[in-house]
Amino acid sequence: MRIVFIGPPGAGKGTQCGRLTEEFGIPHLSTGEMLRKTERDSPLGKIVASYIDHGRLAPDYLVLPIVTQRLSEADCSQGCLLDGFPRTVNQAEKLDQFLVENNWELDVVLNLTVPSEDLIARLLRRAEQENRVDDTDETIAARLEIFRNQTAPVLDHYKQQGLVKSIDGSNSPDEVFELIRQAVS
Catalytic residue ranges:
13, 87, 126, 132, 143
Query: Phi/psi zone of residue 10: left (φ > 0), alpha (ψ -120 to 50 degrees), beta?
Result: left
Closer CB to ligand ADP, residue 57 or residue 164?
57
CB of 58 to ligand ADP, least distance (A): 4
Contact between 13 and 143 under an 8 Å Cβ cutoff? The reply is no
* Contact footprint for ligand ADP (CB under 6 A): 9, 30-32, 35, 51-52, 55-58, 63, 84-85, 87, 91, 134, 143
Q: Residue 57 or residue 108: which is nearer to ligand ADP going by CB?
A: 57
CB of residue 164 vs ligand ADP: minimum separation in angstroms? 18
Query: Which ranges of the chain does DSSP label H, i.e. alpha helix?
Result: 13-24, 31-37, 43-52, 60-71, 89-101, 116-130, 137-146, 152-160, 173-184
Q: Where are the alpha helices (DSSP H) in 133-172?
A: 137-146, 152-160
Which residue of the chain is nearest ligand ADP when measured via CB?
32
Residue 67 CB, shortest distance to ligand ADP, in Å, is 7
Using the minimum distance from each CB to ligand ADP, give the nearer residue, 136 or 171.
136
Rounded Cα gap, residues 61 and 146, in angstroms: 18
